[in-house]
Amino acid sequence: MEYTVIIEKSKNGYGAFTPDLPGVGVVGDTKKEVIISIKKAIKMYLEEVSESGNKIPEPTTEVLKFEIAI
């Protein structure tokens, strides 16, 4: 499955979260660090959901990017 991951830059580093997986989010000093961390967090989340016998959430989030001229 493919999940959408949102990466945000802040003045202190980076953050990443997955809208389709509640509570899955990470922070780090670099973009590379949060990419590695969010992959691990997603895997752990999906393993925990699966092991508990619950249904793994289907990815439903879509991303659109628009260029807006002003």
Q: Which residue has the tokens 């990419």?
A: 35
pTM for this structure? 0.88
Parse the chain into domains and list their residue ranges.
1-70
CA distance 20 to 17: 9
Q: Which residue has the tokens 């967090």?
A: 41
Asked if pLDDT for residue 1 goes beyond 90, the answer is no
* Amino acid present at 31: K
Residue pLDDT, tens place only, 20-54: 999 999 999 999 999 999 999 999 999 999 999 99
pLDDT at position 67 is 96
Which one of 3.30.160.250, 3.40.1670.10, 3.60.15.10, 3.40.190.10 gives the CATH number of domain 1-70?
3.30.160.250
